[in-house]
């Protein structure tokens, strides 16, 4: 094996449960955290999920993502069900 090739033990695992970067998350990291699909992360971005654009890359700040998701769950739980006339 040449010096510039990595061994399998040196490569990051594809099935990691935690985000690779402790600073910014990818859409895949957000999907793992929120336990949703990548498509849903895109929908959440359209709904206001905060993100950072670095050139063409889209990244997410973990504390801001967490705070936004918590605000969404609180606002949904504050909605009162409508009374239905029988």
| 54 membership: H or E segment, kind and range | strand 52-54
Q: Mind listing the pLDDT tens digit for each residue in 26-65?
A: 999 999 999 999 999 999 999 999 999 999 999 999 999 9
* pLDDT tens, residue by residue, 15-28: 445 554 568 999 99
Is residue 62 a contact partner of residue 73, using CB atoms and an 8 Å limit?
Answer: no
| pTM for this entry | 0.62
Type and span of the H or E element at 44: helix 38-47
Of how many residues is the chain composed? 86
């Amino acid at each position: 094996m040449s010096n510039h090739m990595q061994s399998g033990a040196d490569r990051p695992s594809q099935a990691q449960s935690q985000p690779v970067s402790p600073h910014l998350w990818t859409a895949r990291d957000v999907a793992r955290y929120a336990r949703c699909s990548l498509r849903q992360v895109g929908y959440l971005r359209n709904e206001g999920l905060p993100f950072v654009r670095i050139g063409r890359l889209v990244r997410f700040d973990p504390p801001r993502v967490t705070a936004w998701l918590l605000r969404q769950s609180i606002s949904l739980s504050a909605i009162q069900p409508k009374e239905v006339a029988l």
